[in-house]
Amino acid sequence: MKRMTILIFIMLFSLRAFCPNENVIYIERSEGENPYERYIRAVTWVESQNDTWAINVHEQAVGPFQIRPIRVDHYNRLLGTDYKTWDFFDYDLSRDMFLFFADRYGPYNIDMAVKRWNGSGRMTIDYWKRVKARL
């Protein structure tokens, strides 16, 4: 018995533990809670301060998620729908679009989903910092 215990201890000791890099975000999830919910609240605050009727005339972006016409066109192509930009003043429809694109990166890559929601480049780094500050 003592020999078996030592053998098991040696085997366990020799296993390498997986240690992810520090850029990984772990999400604690309650039953029934969408893993994106905290991020949705942060994104809508950064985008529109939770204003369902927000309009950015310069970018032609609307709604709580500040959805642009090019994103609507992309969404329509992927889903075979015919939404118009003004349809996305509707919070639930806008949220569905956000989740559709976020799910493309998997539920454990939320930071990438949020960054890609904004775009790319230097401004996206600043955007991600503002979203993280709201979490």
Q: Which tens digits make up the pLDDT trace of 13-69? A: 455 545 444 554 444 545 566 778 999 999 999 999 999 999 999 999 999 999 999
Nearest to 99 by CA among 113, 109, 89: 113
Q: Could you tell me which residues come within 8 angstroms of residue 29 by beta carbon, excluding any fewer than 6 positions away?
A: 35
Q: Which tens digits make up the pLDDT trace of 88-117? A: 999 999 999 999 998 887 666 888 888 889
Q: Which domains does the chain have, with CATH numbers?
A: 35-134 (1.10.530.10)
Could you give the CA distance from residue 69 to residue 51 in angstroms, rounded to a whole number? 18
DSSP state of 39: H
Amino acid at 118: N
Confidence of residue 3 (pLDDT cuts 50, 70, 90): low
First to last CA, the chain: 51
Confidence of residue 119 (pLDDT cuts 50, 70, 90): confident
pTM across the whole model: 0.72
Nearest to 89 by CA among 56, 124, 128: 56
Both structure tokens of 115: 């960054």
Q: In sequence order, what are the beta bridge partners of 55?
A: 62
Could you give the CA distance from residue 18 to residue 2 in angstroms, rounded to a whole number? 29
The H or E element that residue 4 is part of is helix 2-14
Both structure tokens of 4: 């078996």
